[in-house]
């Protein structure tokens, strides 16, 4: 009798632990979605609706927050063990990644000045296409033919969405494509540059070293391309102090995008992450349309849907051909 009670209590404890683990994972995914979509929408609001037309300075604020909060999370809170930079060559590789990362984020923020979030996300969904192209060019790594076939609807969908986008802006579109290509390039470069066992860094430590370098790269660009932005921001704050709160909250949210992405990756499978990532883009589109009320066309939505279907097929083809 006692043996049965012990085994039943153990089963109950295991079930409770499993339930709390599922709740924790659901909470992580919700935080990941909220931070990702939140920073995207707030960037759009600041750069387009609010009229704060300084995407490079905004990106520099993001990187400054990532520098500080990364150090707090790793050195003080010990969320992950700190990994040291082992050589000057490794630091140069990290700097190269940081430069590409800066280009991606700045271009993405510039595109949000001119394009609605829904179209921005449609173009961003073509990341697998650029990743496959750069991987082929830089590593001569060939995928199975079916994997390349699945990229056809990815690109076709964006072409259709572009033709049916009521708020299409050529410069914004070019910036958005550039941001997507740079994001893919960073992924491929990271795999090449930090591929040896001694140089591999987890995403939290990589951000810890990349973010301060990004600030140093963005500072001269901000000074020369967005003249007197600090003075303008101070003048804006005197009229409406909320701009400071917006910038602080937005910058912290940019860090939490990276933190929650790391935690979701750690606590779910790669396949789950891919599925969640595809769904996240669709959620962002719906939420942005509800908030900003930007006009959408049936053609545009069909194009975006085709792109998402292509991305799902691409992910499935990659998984089957590993």
Maximum separation of any 2 CA atoms in the chain, in Å: 80
Domain annotation covers residue 20: no
What whole-number distance in Å separates Cα of residue 237 and Cα of residue 314?
46
Check residue 226 and report its DSSP letter: S
What whole-number distance in Å separates Cα of residue 316 and Cα of residue 311?
9
Rg of the chain taking only CA atoms, in angstroms: 21
Is 100 in contact with 130 (CB distance < 8 Å)?
A: no
Domain annotation covers residue 133: yes
Check residue 143 and report its DSSP letter: P
In sequence order, what DSSP letters do the residues of 54-68 get, joined into one string?
-HHHHHHHHHHHHHH
pLDDT, mean of each 10-residue run, the chain (322 residues): 54 55 88 94 95 95 97 95 93 96 96 94 92 89 86 93 92 97 94 86 94 97 94 94 96 95 82 74 89 90 92 84 71
Domain annotation covers residue 227: yes
Task: Give the model's pLDDT for residue 15.
Answer: 52
Is 54 in contact with 229 (CB distance < 8 Å)?
A: yes
Residues 6+ apart with CB under 8 A from 291: 41
Domain annotation covers residue 167: yes
Domain annotation covers residue 168: yes
The first and second tokens of residue 211, run together, are 């973010």
User: Structural domain of residue 295, as residue ranges?
Assistant: 29-320
Please state the domain count of the chain: 1
Domain annotation covers residue 21: no
Domain annotation covers residue 37: yes
Domain annotation covers residue 15: no
Q: How many CB atoms lie within 10 A of CB 122?
A: 28
pTM of the complete model: 0.88
């Amino acid at each position: 009798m006692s043996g049965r009670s012990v085994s039943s209590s153990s089963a109950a404890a295991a079930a409770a632990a499993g339930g709390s683990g599922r709740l924790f994972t659901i909470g992580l995914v919700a935080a990941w979605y909220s931070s990702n979509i939140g920073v995207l929408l707030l960037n759009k609001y600041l750069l387009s609706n609010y009229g704060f037309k300084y995407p490079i300075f905004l990106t520099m604020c993001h990187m400054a927050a990532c520098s500080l909060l990364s150090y707090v999370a790793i050195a003080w809170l010990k969320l992950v063990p700190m990994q040291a930079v082992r050589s000057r060559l490794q630091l140069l590789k990290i700097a190269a990644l940081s430069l590409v990362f800066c280009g991606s984020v700045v271009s993405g923020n510039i595109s949000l000045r001119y394009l609605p979030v829904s179209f921005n996300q449609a173009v961003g969904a073509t990341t697998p296409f650029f990743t496959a192209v750069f991987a082929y060019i830089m590593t001569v790594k060939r995928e199975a033919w079916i994997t390349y076939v699945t990229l056809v609807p990815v690109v076709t969908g964006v072409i259709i969405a572009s033709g049916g986008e009521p708020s299409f802006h050529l410069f914004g579109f070019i910036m958005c494509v550039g941001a997507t290509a740079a994001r893919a390039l960073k992924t491929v470069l990271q795999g090449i540059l930090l591929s040896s066992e001694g140089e591999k860094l987890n995403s939290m430590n990589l951000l810890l070293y990349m973010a301060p370098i990004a600030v140093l790269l963005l500072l001269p660009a901000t000074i020369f391309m967005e003249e007197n932005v600090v003075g303008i921001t101070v003048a804006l704050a005197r009229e409406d102090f909320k701009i400071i709160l917006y910038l602080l909250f937005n910058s912290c949210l940019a860090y939490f995008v990276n933190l929650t992405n790391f935690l979701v990756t750690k606590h779910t499978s790669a396949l789950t992450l891919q599925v969640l990532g595809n769904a996240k883009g669709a959620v962002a589109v719906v939420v942005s349309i509800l908030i900003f009320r930007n006009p959408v066309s049936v053609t545009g939505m069909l194009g975006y849907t085709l792109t998402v279907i292509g991305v799902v097929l691409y992910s499935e083809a990659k998984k089957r051909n590993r």
